[in-house]
Amino acid sequence: MAREYNFSAGPSMLPNYVLEKIRDELFEYKDTKQSVMEMSHRSKEYLSIFDECEAKFRKVLGVPDNYSVLFLQGGAYTQFSMLPMNIMTVNKTADFVLTGSWAEKASQEAKKCGEVRIVASSKDSNYTYIPEIDVSTLNPDADFMHICYNNTIYGTAFQLTPKAIVPLTADVSSMILSKPLDVNEFGAIFASAQKNMGIAGLSVVVIRNDLLERSPSDLPSMLNYSIQQKNGSMFNTPATFSIYVLSVLLDWLIDEIGGLETMETINKEKSSILYDYLDDSKMFTGTVEKGSRSDMNVCFLAQSEELNKAFCSESTAKGLLNLSGHRSVGGMRASIYNAMPIDGVKALRDFMSIFEKEHM
Ligand code: PMP
């Protein structure tokens, strides 16, 4: 069985450890005589998987006791609406930092719940950098301030969590578990699972408990954070198998990697291999300003559209998959989430070097 290096932005690679464990446990989980896929979500067998998953997630990320962890469905997209429906309910106004399509989409949904102010934006340069936020311009009455921490499409990332004067909320879909995050700096964070947290179907929300009191009682129950929290994320049937996969993935992070500090070191090493190469290359250029580079999504261009196309088709033939950039940036994008081994990144760098020699 051959597996190739998959640079997809999401759903994306899983560690072999996770795939092998799932394979081994697919027919029968431990000695339960059933597959996880067949378990009732309320059975004691499944509840122990669920509770262990939450405990490991809290431990790995360092989630403080005054925050709730919700395992929901509907992807990060649903959170673009659910977050303002629940917490943009005091003054009905929120501040947004525009760093790309995902922040834009979140702001569009928030507009349906009240007034949205854009407090910083890099739209003028097609989102090639993370803009400075001038704290003096922030609205002290905003119900929250929102950022997208890592901009999957453009390959930019906040290097540090920005200061906010109201609860900060963040879409961390493409960076969660890639490095330590101080949850105390946020009112709420959300992420869809399919990059660093396993497989599609699950989205995770971490929210400070006092914010749960803002959920209006007339919201549809499934979209009400407070109801979801009171029901232990089991108001309906949760994404049982995706939660199990997250649990196995957390075992990998804890037992094989050793936690988020080490994960960050590995991720920095991987992204440096590509950025160092891009800085020296005569053919390829990174699309992002140096101080805003993402360790998860590395975007670059060759000198012409023809070369970009040739690179994508030749790299695919060499077993380096899904390197085409998003249509709004063009060129190439290498998504190198936690599961991408360092050898995969080296293989890409070596292929870039060969391609450059052959086509210059
Ligand atoms: N936010 C970010 C930062 C993303 O990268 C993505 C998916 N690529 C989304 C939101 C949307 O996630 P989903 O399709 O799971 O709703």
- Residue-wise pLDDT for 273-307, tens only, equals 999 999 999 999 999 999 999 999 999 999 999 99
The encoded tokens of residue 256 equal: 């094989």
Residue ranges matching CATH 3.40.640.10 in the chain: 29-256
Q: Catalytic residue positions?
A: 102, 171, 195
- Round the CA-based radius of gyration of the chain to a whole number and report it: 21
Tell me the two tokens of residue 112.
């349906």
Q: Which of 9, 236, 225, 194 is nearest to 100 (CA)?
A: 9
For residue 295, which of 279, 275, 276 has the smallest C-alpha distance? 275
76 lines ligand 1 (CB under 6 A): yes
Q: Is 71 helix (H, G, I), strand (E, B) or coil?
A: strand
291 exposure class (CB count in 10 Å sphere: 0-12, 13-18, 19+): exposed
What is the 33 CA–ligand 1 centroid distance (Å)?
36
How far does residue 106's CA lie from ligand 1's centre (Å)?
Answer: 10
Residue with tokens 């290096």: 5
- Do 7 and 300 touch, CB atoms closer than 8 A? no
Q: Compute CA 235 distance to the chain's CA centroid, rounded to the nearest angstrom.
A: 25
| CA–CA dist 298, 147 (Å, integer) | 20
Tokens linked to 283: 């053919």
Q: What is the pLDDT of residue 1?
A: 66
Atom index in ligand 1 nearest the CA of residue 9 equals 8
pLDDT of residue 307: 97
Residue 303, phi then psi, degrees to nearest 5: -75, -15
pTM, 2 dp: 0.98
Instruction: Give the CATH fold of the 259-359 domain.
Output: Aspartate Aminotransferase, domain 1 (3.90.1150)
Q: Could you tell me if 298 and 154 are in contact, meaning their C-beta atoms sit under 8 angstroms apart?
A: no
The residue whose CA has the least distance to atom 15 of ligand 1 is 75
Q: Does residue 238's CB lie within 6 angstroms of at least one atom of ligand 1?
A: no
241-269 pLDDT, tens digit per residue, is: 999 999 999 999 999 999 999 999 999 99
Rounded-to-integer distance, Cα 18 and Cα 177, Å: 15
Distances 227 to 77, 80, 81, 222 between C-alpha atoms, Å? 19, 18, 16, 8
By three-state DSSP, how is residue 37 classified? Answer: helix
Residue located nearest, by CA, to atom 10 of ligand 1:
76
Q: Please choose, from the candidates 128, 163, 131, 121, the residue with its C-alpha nearest in 3D space to the C-alpha of residue 145.
A: 163
For 50, the 3-state DSSP assignment is: helix
Supply the DSSP symbol for 326. Answer: P
Provide the token pair at 34: 């059933």
Domain 29-256 listed as CATH 3.40.640.10: yes
- pLDDT lower than 70: segments of the chain: 1
Q: How many CB atoms lie within 10 A of CB 262?
A: 12
Half-sphere exposure of 264 (CA within 13 A, CB side): 11
Which residue owns the Cα nearest ligand 1 atom 5? 152
Question: DSSP state, 151?
Answer: E
Report the nearest atom of ligand 1 relative to the CA of 149.
3
Q: Return the structure tokens found at 219.
A: 């919201």
Per-residue confidence (pLDDT) for residue 2, from 0 to 100? 78
> Does ligand 1 lie within 6 Å of residue 174's CB atom?
yes
Q: With contact defined as beta carbons under 8 Å apart, do 189 and 183 qualify?
A: yes
- Crossing angle of helices 240-251 and 16-25, in 10° steps, is 130
CATH 3.90.1150.10 positions along the chain are 259-359
pLDDT of residue 238: 98
